[in-house]
């Protein structure tokens, strides 16, 4: 059913684009039909005003059908999934980060290796270069 409705939706979109492009603009420019519609519009069966009224009605019908199919497709897409949004899939209690000891300056403390387990002495921690204070 969804595939059929989707095909109808695409056909409505193409027809709506075509009907809109055929219409004569309200200014005196002439659309894709050209400025010379006259009494020869639609094979001489209708006047220019009658053609405009027919195209306006067809456009409104196609637009209404397009909006209805859009809403129905949205409802179908929303009801076919178990959850409605990605926010519903976020766990309520996220896992806690492991606690790390912090030095007084805010940097994480690194435990020094014990001399008994490591055969080499621990390297000295690098010191930050002195920054001159400007007044």
pLDDT of residue 28: 53
Which tokens go with 32? 């894709």
Could you state, in order of their start, the residue ranges of all structural domains in the chain?
1-13+46-79
In degrees, to the nearest 5, what angle opens at C-alpha 29 toward C-alphas 25 and 31? Answer: 50
Considering the entire predicted model, what is its pTM?
A: 0.48
Question: Consecutive 10-residue runs of the chain (135 residues): their mean pLDDT?
Answer: 93 95 70 48 64 87 96 86 68 71 65 58 65 68
pLDDT for position 100: 66
Determine the pLDDT at residue 117. 56
């Amino acid at each position: 059913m969804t595939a059929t409705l989707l095909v109808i939706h695409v056909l409505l979109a193409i027809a709506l684009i075509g009907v809109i492009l055929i219409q004569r603009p309200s200014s005196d420019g002439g659309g894709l039909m050209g400025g010379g519609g006259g009494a020869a519009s639609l094979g001489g069966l209708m006047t220019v005003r009658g053609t405009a009224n027919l195209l306006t009605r067809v456009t409104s019908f196609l637009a209404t059908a397009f909006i209805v199919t859009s809403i129905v497709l949205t409802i179908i897409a929303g009801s076919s999934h178990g959850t409605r949004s990605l926010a519903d899939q976020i766990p309520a209690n996220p896992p806690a980060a492991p606690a790390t000891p912090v030095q007084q300056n805010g940097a994480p403390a690194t435990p020094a290796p014990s001399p008994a387990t490591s055969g080499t002495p621990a390297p000295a921690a690098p010191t930050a270069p002195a920054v001159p204070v400007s007044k």
